[in-house]
């Protein structure tokens, strides 16, 4: 057979594979904290309340071709909380809540990543607040936009697991479930 000509079946197969969408590997190793967000919602009495953390640092080592080897870490400056008013912000820094004089930073460090398909992942790791560490699972959706990766995720944390909101606040005025949502933006490497 002449190497200059492909048999019709081989030509058809080559054309068919060329028409398939190509999934490219992507690596993300830096987080743009300025473009990223970290927020939370909860209920106080019967009203839904919203807040953010303005200062945090995140590190990332994520290869879409090998998510099991990925690693992520997050460090949150708890004094950067914005719960909607200066009174609320000051209250949350007190010993009954975050006790930022003793524990100014909350951290998360991943210990495993499982691919779930369709650019969805389950990140398992350790969340540390007020000197207490708990294992959490965080579902994350990766959205690629040009050369940017957007990691959207959310999880629910129970205040009681970290003794947050003790004393007079333990009676249920503030919901035990705190819903944390994040959007980490990372340029593709």
| pLDDT of 177 | 94
| pLDDT of 24 | 61
| pLDDT of 44 | 87
| Averaged confidence pLDDT in the chain | 87
- In the predicted model, what is the mean pLDDT of residues 161-173? 83
Cβ(147)–Cβ(188) under 8 Å? yes
- In the predicted model, what is the mean pLDDT of residues 157-175? 86
| pLDDT of 183 | 97
Cβ-based neighbour number of residue 64 at 10 Å: 19
Is the confidence at residue 63, as pLDDT, over 60? yes
Between 170 and 64, the higher pLDDT residue: 64
Is the confidence at residue 17, as pLDDT, over 90? no
- In the predicted model, what is the mean pLDDT of residues 24-34? 90
Is the confidence at residue 20, as pLDDT, over 60? no
102 φ/ψ sector (left φ>0, alpha ψ -120 to 50, else beta): alpha
| pLDDT of 137 | 97
| Every domain of the chain and the residues it spans | 29-187
Give the single-character DSSP code of 186: E
| pLDDT of 22 | 34
* Fold assignment, 29-187: Lipocalin (2.40.128)
The DSSP H or E segment spanning 18 is helix 8-19
Residues 76-105 pLDDT 10s: 999 999 999 999 999 999 999 999 999 999
Is the confidence at residue 149, as pLDDT, over 80? yes
d(CA 137, CA 156) in angstroms, rounded, equals 9
Instruction: Enumerate residues 6+ apart whose C-beta is below 8 A from 94.
Output: none
| pLDDT of 27 | 94
| pLDDT of 109 | 98
| pLDDT of 170 | 73
């Amino acid at each position: 057979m002449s190497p200059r000509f492909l048999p019709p079946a081989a030509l058809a197969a080559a054309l068919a594979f060329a028409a398939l969408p190509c999934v490219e590997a992507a690596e993300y190793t830096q987080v743009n904290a300025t473009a990223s967000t970290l927020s939370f919602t909860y209920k106080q009495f019967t009203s839904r309340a919203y807040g953010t953390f303005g200062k945090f640092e995140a590190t990332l080592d994520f290869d879409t071709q090998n998510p099991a080897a990925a690693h992520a870490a997050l460090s949150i400056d708890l004094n950067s909380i914005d719960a909607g008013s200066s009174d609320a912000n000051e209250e949350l820094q007190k010993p009954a809540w975050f006790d930022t004089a003793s524990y100014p930073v909350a951290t998360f460090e991943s210990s495993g990543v499982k691919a779930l398909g369709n650019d969805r992942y389950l990140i398992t790791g350790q969340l540390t607040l007020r000197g207490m560490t708990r294992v959490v699972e965080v579902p994350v959706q990766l959205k690629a936009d040009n050369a940017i990766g957007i990691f959207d995720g959310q999880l629910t944390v129970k205040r009681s697991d970290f003794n947050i909101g003790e004393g007079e606040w333990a009676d249920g005025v503030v919901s035990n479930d705190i819903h944390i949502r994040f959007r980490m933006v990372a340029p593709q490497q």
